[in-house]
Structure 1
Amino acid sequence: MFTLTVNGKCVETQKDQKLLTFLRDDLRLTSVKDGCSEGACGACMVLIDGKKVKACIPKVSTLTGKSIVTLEGLSERERAVYVHCFAEAGAVQCGYCIPGMVISAKSLLDNNLNPNRDQVKQAIKGNLCRCTGYVKIEEAILNAAHYFRDNLPIPPRERQASLNIRFKRVDAEEKILGTGEFVDDIIVPGMIYAKALRSKYPRAVINRIDISKALAHLDCVRILTEKDVPNKKVGHLVMDWDVMIPEGGTTRYIGDALALVATNHKETLDEVLSLIEVDYTELTPVTCPTDALKAEAPLIHEQGNILRKEVLRRGNVDEALKNAKYVVTRKYRTPFT
């Protein structure tokens, strides 16, 4: 039995698992996001005895007697300040990384209520954000320090949007506090779990995929391969990307899916996946755009390695203005984002 304190409450578990899994699956503390499962992104950041730690790294057995704090355990005042400052700065877009950012901010501000920007940058160094570019997050944390330092009251929220006010995004609070539901946060009765088997190699021919041993596993519900997919191609600009690579097909990157496994329990997914046997013929990959443009480069896609060719033509601006029937000259300002 392992005993630890989470958000001020004593909790026990017999299962030695990652702290992230325990917090999310057992305690349903969904502000702790699973972004990578390997200590790279910081979306699962928590405080352990006051120090920030990525929850996907330590196991529960190493935390006996420790005190863990998640975003759910912050005081009402702290939550209100972070919601206001992150929303005011426009620091929230998809919102997946923000709860982890707030924990890193708390780790800093608990020890330094007057940080400079470099100290803020250092504090969130272990948190990745693919949306904002970090500047607005830094501004939010600096502003939060100001609110805590001077004990400033939180301004009332806007009740109605209009064009003459600076209106915060309507879902900012739930994204900042981690209460909004992402797909990984949803649990329904009778739910099954799925995970893709992905290629070991960036470029390889798939000679054979044998799923027979995996299908025999008692917890396996279903295994899908390319043969089971009616619409086999996806894409944005060009519909040329395989949903799953078939036998005889060639992978284009390590992320290419070969099969999809469904099980009754999340814990058995990797075990069932490991039973799928794949015979590869590894090929030399194309690893940079310069090599992809060479005449002798292997074709990553059937139509070639160039997605699209664009021709830019620039005319004479002064001549166009001179011959224009109407010319409107005015200064316009737009926000950066």
Structure 2
Amino acid sequence: PWTEHAFLEPECAVAYMDEDDYVHIISTDQSAYCTYHECSLMLGTDKVRAENALVGGGFGGKEDMTVQPYAALITYLTGRPAKARLTREESLLVHPKRHHFVMDFTMGCDEQGIIQGVKAKVASDTGAFASLGGPVLERACTHAAGPYAYENFEIEGDAYYTNNPPAGAFRGFGVTQTCFATETLLNMMAEKIGISPWEIRYRNAIRPGGVLPNGQIVDDSTGLVETLEAVKDAYDAAVAAGKPVGIACAMKNAGVGVGIPDTGRVRLIVEDDEKLHIYSGASCIGQGLGTVLVQMVVTNTDLKREDIVYERSNTWIAPDSGTTSGSRQTLVTGEACRRACDMFMEAKKDGKSLKDLKGQEFYAEYLAKTDPLGANVPNPVSHVAYGYATQMCILDPKTGKIEKMIAAHDVGKAVNPLSCEGQIEGGVVMSMGFALRERYPIDENCRPIGKYGALGLFRAHEIPEIEPIVIDKPGLKVACGAIGIGEITSIPTAPAITDAYYHWDGKRRFSLPISDTPYERKK
């Protein structure tokens, strides 16, 4: 009972000594196994168990350890239950934020608007600690070319230690920043060529069988063109009505990729209650993974929903399925679950019931195999799958405020369409703040001076109409065709909004949050 209200704080963990004399940690992390490994290292013992609390919200921010080691250490030393938390002020000071980027991009095209090449240089402020600064920079660079069909791409990236607060994983993982540069240049080129921003994207869009700038040949699930076509009528209607409208596209990997081991694991157990229990070390933090895995079981077996129990992630029964990051869990853990379902159905094929199978386990895993960066192979596979998106921003021409956001997303197979729509809406709102208003001021001593209420987060009554469009295009041969959607929903929002404001007042904006809008906060 003492843990019932333990997770109402910004960052929080509780720990206690369990009946087996293990330090038992309950944490709102993005990987129970990361919590286990780091706390075990610190304590110098393997007698640690970690369990994921079913509390929503991570967005990359829970990849780093924060308070978990403190709760574990107090319990280890005293034998008593402990709760460690950060206050809002402490969270603003020490918890990783999105990386500040300074970018220099050059893009060229021919007279038809076909991209001929991109050359870029980016510098990232990773703050006082590395955190995930290296992987964020790598992802920013590998995706900076955009979802387009050309192969002349050169980029140089550096991440720098500074005295600023640490930066780390944040929804979009570096791609949010470089997408802003690429998509802004594409809009500028469209104007020079004399075609619409929609048309220049349609002409350059990667299509199934095409080659991305990183050399990867994309598969039949590639749906960028479909996302563009989904917004075409609304785009044309807004332009015809004289409304300022902006547009941007994006791509984002699913899975860790670039040759890094990336394995999903699931264990299905028929327990004494004669129900099939789902165990996976993949954290469910509000993105709906538990629902996805239950749906995978219902889809791939003859069981009903009431026959299935989803168990929260832990480190003593559930197998390690990696971090909840990189929009990977629906794909990699979903495929592992599908394979375990095949094994379950094989055991059940002679008409056996759950009662007959009581006590049996069905374990499966899936390795999302990719090629490392710089691999000396033709057409290297950087990632097992990509999601694609087109987002539109329509302004009220009189007030200059956002009238409507339209976001079309290719997700492969939509396992849960309603959940996909929720992800889209949340991602758009998150990057509306990124584009228009959010600031993180620091003083001359590199200490944050902003209060939570003054950071510029959008409030519920300020949100415009958002129309999510889910493009259901299965083609991937794993996870029933599902790709995932978590990160990409925040990536093309800022350049779409910025383009709309250019068509409102004729000013190009190259820094975020953008200035001279009705949303700009007065200093």
State the TM bucket, normalised to the shorter chain: under 0.3
Tell me which of the two structures has the higher relative contact order, counting C-alpha pairs closer than 8 angstroms and 6 or more residues apart. 2
In the superposition, the TM-score normalised over structure 2's length comes to: 0.19
In the superposition, the TM-score normalised over structure 1's length comes to: 0.26
Q: Report the structure number with the largest CA radius of gyration.
A: 1
